[in-house]
Amino acid sequence: AIRMTQSPSSFSASTGDRVTITCRASQGISTYLAWYQQKPGKAPKLLIYHAATLQSGVPSRFSGSGSGTDFTLTISYLQSEDFATYYCQQFYNYPLTFGGGTKVEIK
Amino acid sequence: QVHLQESGPGLVKPSETLSLTCTVSAGSINSYYWNWVRQSTDKGLEWIGRIYPRGNTNYNPSLKSRVTMSVDTSKSQVSLRLTSVTAADTAVYFCAGINGFCTPTSCLPGYFDPWGQGILVTVSS
C-alpha cells in the first residue's frame, strides 16, 4: 500500500496568514492526489483533486500543487472558518490511502 | 445534491458482526461507486472497500477476510458487514461515493465526494 505522510501534524496560525501543508507519497502517484478539510463531528469535505483542481464551491484562497511524490496545499489568506484538520488521499492505486492529517489551530 | 445516510447499531460485542447500511438519495445509486471509510484515533482515515452497483467489489487487503459489501438498488442502499470485530474496529464509519469510471469487473480509483455524516460504532461487551 502507498503510504501518505503529512507534515506538520499540527500547527498554530493567525487569521490572514498564508499557510502551507505538505503531503509526501511513498512512491510516485503522478497527480492522483486529493485534499480534504474536516471539522469536528463532520465528514471530510473535498477541496482539491488531481493535485491542483479546485472542487466547485471551494474558495480560491485554497490551492494545491505537486506531482510524483511531493504535494502541497496552500491557504493564501487564512480565514476563521479554515481552522480544521486537512487530509491528503492518493487515488493512484488500491488500496486508497490517506495521510495522517494536519490540524490547523488558532494562534 | 446527493444525500447519504448511514444507519445501524452503535454498539457491537466483540467477536460479533458489524452491519451498517447507507441509504442514498433517490436516483443516484447507479451514478457512483460506493465506499466505506472509517476513522479512528489510532488509525486515522482508513478505506475499507468499494462496490460498484453493477457488480464488482474491491476490499482493503488489511480487512478483506472479514468484509462483505452489497448493494440493493431497489432500496437505494449500500451495506457493509464486518465479521469477528474487536475493539480495534471501534470507529466512525462513513459511506462515500466516487464518481469514477467502472467496467463490469473493475473501477478506476478516485476521490470521495459525496460523504455521509458518519456513524460511531463502538465494539465493547
Write the pLDDT tens digit of every residue in A24-83: 999 999 999 999 999 999 999 999 999 999 999 999 999 999 999 999 999 999 999 999
Judged by CB atoms closer than 8 Å, whether chains meet at A45 and B115 is answered as yes
The x, y and z cell numbers of residue B53, run together, are 452497483
Q: Which of chain B's residues have a Cβ under 8 Å away from the Cβ of A1? A: 61-62
Q: Which of chain B's residues have a Cβ under 8 Å away from the Cβ of A97? A: 47
CB-based contact A103:A10 (threshold 8 Å): yes
Cα–Cα distance for residue pair B109/B86, rounded to 1 Å: 29
Across the beta sheet with A19-25, the strand order is A4-7, A19-25, A70-75, A62-67
pLDDT at position B1 = 87
B7-26: per-residue pLDDT in tens? 999 999 999 999 999 999 98
Q: Which amino acid is at B122?
A: T
Hunting for cell 457493509 — which residue is that?
B80
B31-76: per-residue pLDDT in tens? 999 999 999 999 999 999 999 988 799 999 999 999 999 999 999 9
B103-117: per-residue pLDDT in tens? 888 999 999 999 999
Mean pLDDT score, A84-106: 97
Residue B38: closest CA among chain A residues belongs to which residue? A43
Judged by CB atoms closer than 8 Å, whether chains meet at A100 and B44 is answered as yes
Q: What is the mean pLDDT of chain A?
A: 97
Cα–Cα distance for residue pair B17/B61, rounded to 1 Å: 18
CA quadruple B83, B89, B92, B96: dihedral sign: negative
Which of B112, B115, B119, B120 is the best residue to mutate to test the A interface, defined by the most A CB atoms within 10 Å of its own CB? Answer: B112
Judged by CB atoms closer than 8 Å, whether chains meet at B61 and A55 is answered as no
Judged by CB atoms closer than 8 Å, whether chains meet at A36 and B110 is answered as no
CB-based contact B50:B69 (threshold 8 Å): yes
pLDDT at position B27 = 82
Bridge pairing between strands B57-59 and B44-51: antiparallel
Q: What is the CA radius of gyration of chain A?
A: 13
CB-based contact A3:A21 (threshold 8 Å): no
pLDDT at position B28 = 87
Cα–Cα distance for residue pair B125/B92, rounded to 1 Å: 18
Residue B61 near chain A (CB below 8 Å): yes
pLDDT at position B95 = 98
Residue B113 near chain A (CB below 8 Å): yes
